[in-house]
Amino acid sequence: MVSTLEVYDVTTDERSLVYSEEDHFEAPNWSPDGSYFLINQSGSLYRIYPDGRKEQLDTGFANRCNNDHGISPDGTTIAFSHNLEDGPDGWLTSCIFTVPLAGGTPTQVTEQVPSFWHGWSPDGKTLTYTAQRDDRFNVYTVATTGGEETALTDSDGLDDGPSYAPDGQHMYYNSADSGSMEIWRMHPDGSNKEMLTDDGYSNWFAHPSPDGTQFVFISYLRDQGSAHPAMKEVVLRLYNLEDHSIRVLCGFTGGQGSLNVPSWSPDGTRFAFVSYRYTN
pLDDT at 195: 98
Residue 144 and residue 153: Cα distance in Å, rounded?
Answer: 20
Cα-to-chain-centroid distance, residue 203: 13
* pLDDT higher than threshold 80 for residue 280: no
Q: What is the mean pLDDT of residues 234-258?
A: 98
Neighbours of 48 (CB within 10 A): 22
Q: What is the mean pLDDT of residues 71-75?
A: 97
Burial class (CB in 10 A: 0-12, 13-18, 19+), 216: buried
Compute the residue count for the chain: 280
pLDDT of residue 25: 98
Quick: pLDDT tens for 21-57: 999 999 999 999 999 999 999 999 999 999 999 999 9
The span from the CA of 170 to the CA of 34, in Å, is 25
pLDDT tens for 115-162 read 999 999 999 999 999 999 999 999 999 999 999 999 999 999 999 999
Contact 235, 204 (CB under 8 A): no
pLDDT confidence tier of residue 79, bands split at 50, 70 and 90: very high
Percent of the chain with pLDDT over 90: 99
Give tens-digit pLDDT for 176-185. Answer: 999 999 999 9
Count of C-beta atoms within a 10 Å radius of residue 226? 15
**Which sign does the torsion angle of CA 39, 41, 46, 51 carry?**
negative
Per-residue model confidence (pLDDT) at position 155: 93
Query: Average model confidence (pLDDT) for the chain?
Result: 97
Q: What confidence score (pLDDT) does residue 194 get?
A: 97
Q: How confident is the model at residue 279 (pLDDT cuts 50, 70, 90)?
A: confident
Query: Contact 170/188 with Cβ under 8 angstroms?
Result: yes
pLDDT of residue 106: 98
Domains annotated for the chain, with CATH where assigned, are 2-277 (2.120.10.30)
**Which positions ≥6 away from 20 have C-beta within 8 Å?**
2, 3, 4, 5
